[in-house]
């Protein structure tokens, strides 16, 4: 197909942009048998717990045919889960991080190091999360001060030394945990989409043309679909990616996914759980035994459905 035909079909006015589009379409033509899989924060966190315990990785992280992606915001959210400050993930940090060899959540640090007159100092707890970096010298300062025989039993100096030693150690353990998380992403060949890739119009002239702009504007998207506000950028990134499968365990996101309709690059049919829930049905009158059935589509069923639809390499072209 020549460049003029591409411009007619796509509405792209620039011949250079049409050539770019042709190249992208050729790339996807060779890759249609390999599904593009987008991984949400919660399934990455769930898999990370198993990864640290040397357990077998879930299939959505080990499938050799899948091309795995996540968004930069998901990585930032994972860091906040480690801090214990994301409500959606509940008490993951308290439940899954070792109290001796892992960083402690923010509330634990406040209770341990920033409690005065039986009251927690939330401001100091947050302040020293950041400012402990670059202030490690305070540990040496208090150690030197305590070497003076006159200060060796000074309660204030002893307490300050304990606090700053604990905060420095916690900071180092947190950095180590984040590095370990990123090693898992690398090992599982998960590519991170950056904010600049998805939202920078200069870098995305191919996708942000005058014709498509009205559809892709975040304001328009926010008015036409129902998505939790904290997940809007993540869903938008999956749309930009043209993801075939969106793996998430977020109940609210799955519940409202039908609002995506049929005209966007992402639909409810793309969503599946990384860890399907079981729903128990009790029929007391009939006396039947308790039975269970999956509430949501699992990764395997969604993956199988994709393979069936992509036979003959048709699915990708339909979506584009």
Which range of residues forms the domain containing residue 298?
10-39+194-319
Shared domain check, 203 and 314: yes
In a domain, 84, yes or no: no
Dihedral angle computed from the Cα positions of residues 172, 174, 175 and 178, in that order, rounded to the nearest 10 degrees: 160
Shared domain check, 129 and 156: yes
Which pLDDT tens digit goes with each residue over 212-245? 553 456 777 888 889 888 898 999 899 888 899 9
The answer to whether the Cα torsion of 297, 298, 299, 304 is positive or negative is negative
Shared domain check, 314 and 207: yes
Shared domain check, 159 and 124: yes
| Whole-number pLDDT of residue 66 | 92
Report the run of H or E that residue 243 belongs to, with start and end.
none
Shared domain check, 147 and 209: no
Domains: count for the chain: 2
**Of 152, 179, 206, the domain-final residue:** 179
In a domain, 202, yes or no: yes
In a domain, 88, yes or no: no
Shared domain check, 271 and 220: yes
Listed as ranges, residues in the chain with pLDDT below 70 are: 1-33, 117-120, 200-217, 277-320
Strand 119-120 versus strand 115-116 pairing type: antiparallel
Shared domain check, 259 and 203: yes
In a domain, 141, yes or no: yes
Strand order across the beta sheet in which 190-193 lies: 190-193, 67-71, 36-39, 245-247, 271-272
Shared domain check, 214 and 150: no
| Whole-number pLDDT of residue 192 | 96
In a domain, 100, yes or no: no
**Of 179, 203, 220, the domain-final residue:** 179
In a domain, 55, yes or no: no
């Amino acid at each position: 197909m020549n460049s003029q035909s591409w411009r007619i079909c796509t509405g792209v006015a620039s011949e250079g942009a049409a050539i770019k589009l042709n190249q992208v379409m050729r790339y996807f033509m060779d890759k249609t048998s390999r599904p593009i899989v987008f991984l949400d924060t919660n399934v990455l966190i769930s898999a990370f717990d198993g990864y640290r315990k040397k357990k077998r990785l879930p299939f959505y992280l080990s499938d050799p045919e899948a091309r795995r992606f996540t968004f930069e915001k998901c990585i930032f959210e994972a860091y906040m889960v480690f801090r214990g400050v994301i409500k959606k993930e509940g008490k993951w940090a308290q439940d899954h991080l070792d109290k001796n060899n892992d960083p402690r959540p923010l509330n634990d640090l406040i209770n341990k190091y920033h409690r005065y007159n039986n009251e927690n100092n939330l401001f100091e707890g947050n302040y020293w999360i950041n400012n402990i970096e670059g202030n490690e010298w305070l540990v040496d300062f208090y150690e030197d001060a305590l070497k003076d025989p006159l200060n060796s039993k000074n309660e204030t100096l002893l307490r300050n030394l304990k606090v700053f030693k604990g905060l420095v150690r916690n900071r180092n353990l947190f950095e180590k945990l984040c590095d370990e998380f990123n090693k898992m992403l690398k090992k599982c060949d998960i590519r991170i989409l950056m904010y600049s890739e998805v939202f920078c119009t200069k870098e995305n002239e191919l996708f942000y043309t005058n014709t498509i702009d009205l559809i892709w504007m975040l304001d328009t998207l926010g008015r036409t679909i129902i998505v939790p506000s904290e997940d809007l950028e993540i869903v938008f990134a999956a749309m930009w990616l043209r993801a075939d499968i969106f793996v998430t365990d977020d109940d609210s996101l799955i519940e409202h996914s039908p609002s995506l309709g049929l005209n966007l690059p992402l639909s409810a049919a793309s969503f599946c759980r990384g860890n399907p829930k079981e729903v128990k049905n009790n029929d007391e009158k009939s006396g039947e035994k308790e039975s269970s059935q999956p509430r949501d589509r699992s990764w395997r069923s969604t993956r199988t459905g994709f393979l069936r639809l992509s036979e003959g390499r048709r699915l990708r072209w339909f979506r584009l």
